């Protein structure tokens, strides 16, 4: 199964079963996925903003969390584990209602118990406005029967 199709299936599972993602990030679009890398975008709506009518930091933090999970999914885990650490650095405003934001996330280390991810957010002028990192405990996620880890292992990591 191609990485993009698998990551989108995991995103659909989040949307169907989570309490937060379908309410806050339902319109998020996964635009690219390859083993260890995911890109997505979001049009800023009222529900994504703070009282200054700009992108809310909590929305960005939620996207760091979701982005980390999708990066783990891009390595073949359907059950993407649980968060152990999450960090967000806000560099500038992400935009206002109607603006498009884009995110690029990578799974920097995919081990037997932990996965480490990093993410960058860009505004409509293609400037980085925030970045984040997310660590996930994934040991138990390897037991999910829907996983495709072998299929989405990068060639450089496959054992001969």
Q: What is the CATH number of the domain that holds 133?
A: 3.10.129.10
For residue 156, being part of any structural domain is answered with: no
Q: What range does the domain containing 90 cover?
A: 3-146
Distance CA 66, CA 121 (A): 13
Residue 151 lies in a domain: no
Asked whether residue 152 is assigned to any structural domain, the reply reads no
Other Cβ atoms less than 10 A from the Cβ of 54: the count is 17
Q: In this structure, is residue 160 part of a structural domain?
A: no
Q: Is residue 157 part of a domain?
A: no
> How many structural domains compose the chain?
1
Per-residue pLDDT 10s for the chain (160 aa) are: 699 999 999 999 999 999 999 899 999 999 999 999 999 999 999 999 999 999 999 999 999 999 999 999 999 999 999 999 999 999 999 999 999 999 999 999 999 999 999 999 999 999 999 999 999 999 999 999 999 998 898 877 766 5
Confirm whether 59 is domain-assigned.
yes
Adjacency order of strands within the sheet including 37-43:
29-34, 37-43, 100-110, 114-122, 128-137, 82-90
């Amino acid at each position: 199964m191609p990485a993009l199709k698998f990551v989108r299936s995991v995103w659909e599972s989040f949307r169907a079963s989570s309490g937060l993602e379908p309410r806050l990030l339902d319109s998020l679009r996964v635009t690219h996925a390859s083993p260890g890398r995911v890109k997505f975008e979001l049009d800023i709506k009222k529900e994504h903003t703070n009282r200054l009518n700009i992108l809310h930091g909590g929305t960005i933090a939620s996207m760091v969390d979701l982005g980390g999970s999708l990066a783990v999914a891009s390595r073949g885990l359907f059950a993407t584990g649980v968060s152990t650490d999450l960090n967000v650095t806000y560099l500038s405003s992400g935009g206002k209602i109607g603006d498009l934001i884009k995110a690029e996330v990578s799974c920097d280390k995919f081990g037997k118990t932990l996965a480490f991810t990093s993410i960058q957010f860009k505004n409509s002028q293609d400037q980085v406005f925030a970045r984040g990192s997310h660590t996930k405990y994934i040991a138990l996620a390897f037991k999910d029967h829907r996983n495709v880890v072998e299929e989405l292992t990068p060639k450089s990591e496959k054992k001969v």
